[in-house]
């Protein structure tokens, strides 16, 4: 999944501040987290024979994303 924020040309990345890059990363990760939540509650997921495995994988994915988000500094830092 790509965000509108990640469609910036390479030359634009070099002009961004570290705070801007962190903000973009945070937005991207929040989108990924929302996607995982949607997959977990989709009708298709509940009908899958490997529902439990899929849920475990997506929960692990959510935990990984949350840990990365917590690692990123706040915009003010």
C-alpha to C-alpha distance for 66 and 61, rounded to whole angstroms: 9
Residue 77 lies in a domain: no
- Does any domain span residue 22? yes
- Indicate whether 37 belongs to any domain: yes
Q: Is residue 38 part of a domain?
A: yes
List pLDDT tens digits, range 7-43: 555 556 677 788 888 888 899 999 999 999 998 888 8
DSSP character at residue 73 = P
Q: Look at residue 76 and tell me if it is in a domain.
A: no
Which residues form the domain of 28?
Answer: 17-71
Considering the entire predicted model, what is its pTM? Answer: 0.72
- Distance, CA of 37 to CA of 41 (rounded, Å): 7
Question: What's the domain count of the chain?
Answer: 1
Residue 73 has pLDDT above 80, yes or no: yes
Residue 41 structure tokens? 């509650």
Which pLDDT tens digit goes with each residue over 45-72?
788 888 899 899 999 999 999 999 999 9
Residue 76's pLDDT band (cuts 50, 70, 90): low
């Amino acid at each position: 999944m790509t965000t509108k924020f990640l469609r910036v040309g390479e030359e634009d990345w070099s002009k961004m501040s570290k705070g801007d890059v962190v903000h973009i990363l945070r937005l991207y990760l929040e989108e990924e987290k929302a996607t995982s939540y949607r997959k977990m509650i989709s009708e298709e997921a509940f009908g899958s024979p490997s529902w439990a495995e899929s849920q475990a994988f997506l929960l692990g994915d959510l935990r990984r994303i949350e840990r990365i988000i917590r690692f990123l500094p706040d915009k003010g830092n």
